[in-house]
Amino acid sequence: MQLFLGIDGGGTGCRAAVADAAGVIRGRAAVGPANIASDPVGAAANIMAAAEAALAAAGGGVVVAAGLGLAGANAAGAPERLRAVLPWSRMAVVTDAITAVKGALGDGDGVVAALGTGSVFAVQRAGAIRQIGGRGLVLGDEASGAWIGRAMLTAALRAVDGFTAMTPLLAGLVDEMGGPDGVVAFSLRARPADFAALAPRVVESDDPAAVAVMDRAEADVAEAVAVLRGAQDLPVVFLGGLGTVFAQRMAGRFPIRAPAGTALHGALLLAREVA
């Protein structure tokens, strides 16, 4: 059976699906993270593991084309290095923002705000896609889970140093990590997913420090959406693990629409385009 392969890989997980010529999904799989900039070797291994598992779930077949939407694909050289170690002759490697837009909007115009471990924003107008953000935690990823977790640890150390008031949540974080030096040690070994693991308690908290971080995150999301919408009254689709959180916070500010499909659907559409 000839199959099209779609891959949606991010800082938290890698999802794969294979579809037949009629567009029917025959197999799916999910494995670990696939950021091809921060961990190219691990990402390649997880992409192959997800693809092989999806093919097995489909009962086997031949991949005629692959569409890969991956975190880190906007890092210079990363897509080329990945293509060199993958077996498919026809493939497209783009950022996960591009496949998210394709899946969420289909052929329609609109803005997509994808907020998970990382963050990225994009707009589609008449089929043309413009992306902003998505440059990783070191240089951006504002309002992402990783950004929120890091911001809380930064706030905790500032409180320890006396710049701001210590709060119960900040004190708890410092104690859990074995004091200020433990926070620093964590920061030196932590990957974005490790910082993002702290985000759920921040999102759900009414601690003053958590409220301040979430207010800043909301302002950053609103600014990115406004830049992409410009003067047009475009709908906004929120995606990712934190998408619902920010959609609720911004209800009434923008016209919010449910996604037409997932980034994995977008990756399958991309595979068809390159077949």
- Cα–Cα distance measured from residue 201 to residue 101, given in angstroms and rounded to the nearest whole number: 29
Structure tokens at 62: 């031949």
State the pLDDT confidence band at 74, using cuts at 50, 70 and 90.
confident
- Cα–Cα distance measured from residue 254 to residue 232, given in angstroms and rounded to the nearest whole number: 11
Tell me how far CA of residue 138 lies from CA of 37, 191, 238, in angstroms: 12, 11, 23
Structure tokens at 224: 């990115």
- Cα–Cα distance measured from residue 163 to residue 97, given in angstroms and rounded to the nearest whole number: 37
Instruction: Tell me the per-residue pLDDT of 235-253, one tens digit each, with 9 for 90 and over.
Output: 999 998 899 999 999 998 9
State the pLDDT confidence band at 186, using cuts at 50, 70 and 90.
very high
Closest by alpha carbon to 161, among 189, 216, 153, 176?
153
- Cα–Cα distance measured from residue 258 to residue 120, given in angstroms and rounded to the nearest whole number: 17
Taken in order of first residue, the domains within the chain and their CATH numbers are 2-106+260-274 (3.30.420.40), 108-258 (3.30.420.40)
Beta strands in the chain (DSSP E): 2-9, 14-19, 25-31, 62-70, 91-95, 110-115, 119-125, 128-133, 236-239
Residue 78, pLDDT above cutoff 80: yes
State the pLDDT confidence band at 43, using cuts at 50, 70 and 90.
very high
Residue 117, pLDDT above cutoff 90: no
According to the model, what pLDDT value does residue 223 have?
Answer: 96
According to the model, what pLDDT value does residue 181 have?
Answer: 96
pTM: 0.79
Closest by alpha carbon to 14, among 48, 58, 50?
50
Residue 12, pLDDT above cutoff 80: no
Instruction: Tell me the per-residue pLDDT of 20-39, one tens digit each, with 9 for 90 and over.
Output: 999 899 999 999 989 888 88
According to the model, what pLDDT value does residue 1 have?
Answer: 80
| DSSP-derived secondary structure for 212-248 | HHHHHHHHHHHHHHHHHHTTS---EEEESTTHHHHHH
More confident residue, 132 or 10: 132
β pairing state of 110-115 and 236-239: parallel
Residue type, 253: R
Residue 118, pLDDT above cutoff 90: no
Structure tokens at 88: 């498919």
State the pLDDT confidence band at 19, using cuts at 50, 70 and 90.
very high
Judged by average pLDDT, the poorest of 47-51, 71-75, 202-206, 239-243 is 71-75
According to the model, what pLDDT value does residue 229 have?
Answer: 95
- Cα–Cα distance measured from residue 194 to residue 187, given in angstroms and rounded to the nearest whole number: 9
